[in-house]
Amino acid sequence: MVQERSYTFKIAEDGIDPEMVPERTLYTGAQIPAIGLGTFGSDRFSGESIAAAVLGAAEVGYRHFDCAAVYGNEHLIGESLQAIMRGGVRREDLWITSKLWNDKHAPEDVIPACKQSLRDLKLDYLDLYLIHWPFRNYHRPGAAGTERDPNAKPYSHDEYMETWQQLERLVELGLVRHIGTSNMTIPKLKLLLRDARIKPACNEMELHPHFQQPELFNFCLENDILPIGFCPIGSPNRPDRDRTPEDTVDIEDPVIVEIAERLNVHPAVVCVKWAVQRGQVPIPFAVDREHYLANIACTVSEPLTDEDMEAIAKIDKNCRLIKGQVFLWEGARGWEDLWDPDGVIVDMR
């Protein structure tokens, strides 16, 4: 596959013309494709299969890829990006995101961590670099849901700003075009907006029909921060540590299933279509070609009706799937404390 010299990149006959895929405009004026491919293997899919999906996805029209150092596959995805660019796709037509992992927040670690992602992805710059979680609390790759970092601490705004200032440096150094946040809450974002020299262009957040986060979503839009939606399909293959008996299943929701049957698509496609139409940028993961093709094809087909959109708005169940419990500190009441449920940052030092 990727490494074979004989491979030549080509646009698939059944693919979608990238020029047709909708885009969103950031506060800087830059444009980002309104759908991206997720690349987290959920501890189930190999890096090789994900790198192959990146290549296949580019062939069917994807130009936006959501990467992260902690996914452990950037070096393989870099091979695919090389093949895509050797095949004639210009760097400026790609949108590549990466993320700083929790154990690299110390100011002296940020620039080297970003440079490592750049080396692995074989790029000169990133379009977007995010702070993956607003905590320095460690999380071993593949950790069980019950694992805790004994040194875990609650949110510290001073520490977050130390890290953010290094992201600002990355912009000034030309290594990163935009910087952003992930897994944030409104009170944390308010402090960042108050203190940042370069404001976040995007906030990556969990968004799917059963978890619509209307307050945070609207806060982002009002502040010209583009919401990027992760787990857009409700992450049916997420790691076991991220499953609890209370979790609901978006793709089994009768409203989603009924629309899917009418449109003759998989319920996953309805979730993606709804996300694009609502205004967030979904980043569905898929290694199956039929799946990632269907997900991008739905961005250029007949929109959902107003009635469909209203019906989906009503099935929000406030069901957070990625609770983040492995990042909890001693003395925290439960995973809810990571998310500032009362609108006040919990235990901020």
Q: What token pair was written down for 128?
A: 């977007």
The DSSP 8-state label assigned to residue 184 in this structure reads -
Write out the binding residues for ligand NAP, residues 92-151 only, by CB under 6 A: 132
CA within 13 Å, CB half, 5: 0
Q: How far is the CB of 4 from ligand NAP (least distance, A)?
A: 23
Among 7, 27, 62, 71, the active-site one is 71
**Rounded-to-integer distance, Cα 189 and Cα 200, Å:** 9
Residue 55 found at the interface with ligand NAP (CB under 6 A) = no
**Rounded-to-integer distance, Cα 100 and Cα 111, Å:** 10
Nearer to ligand NAP among residue 53 and residue 118 (C-beta): 53
71 included as an active-site residue:
yes
Residue 238 found at the interface with ligand NAP (CB under 6 A) = yes
Residue 183 found at the interface with ligand NAP (CB under 6 A) = yes
**Dihedral of alpha carbons 247, 284, 224, 327, sign:** positive
**Residue from 8, 28, 237, 301 binding ligand NAP (CB under 6 A):** 237
Write out the binding residues for ligand NAP, residues 279-308 only, by CB under 6 A: 283-288, 291, 294-295
Question: 181 has which bridge partners?
Answer: 131, 203
Stretch that binds ligand NAP, among 104-112, 113-121, 263-271, 329-337 (CB under 6 A): 263-271
**Rounded-to-integer distance, Cα 252 and Cα 245, Å:** 15
Nearer to ligand NAP among residue 52 and residue 170 (C-beta): 52
Site size toward ligand NAP, by CB under 6 A: 31
**All residues at 6 or more sequence positions from 214 whose CB lies less than 8 Å from its CB, including other chains:** 316
Q: What token pair was written down for 108?
A: 């002296």
**Residue from 178, 266, 273, 320 binding ligand NAP (CB under 6 A):** 266
DSSP symbols for 37-75: EE---TTTS-HHHHHHHHHHHHHTT--EEE--GGGS-HH
**Residue from 233, 311, 319, 346 binding ligand NAP (CB under 6 A):** 233
* Interface ranges with ligand NAP (CB under 6 A): 38-40, 42, 66, 132, 182-183, 204, 230-238, 266, 268-269, 283-288, 291, 294-295, 322
Residues forming the active site: 71
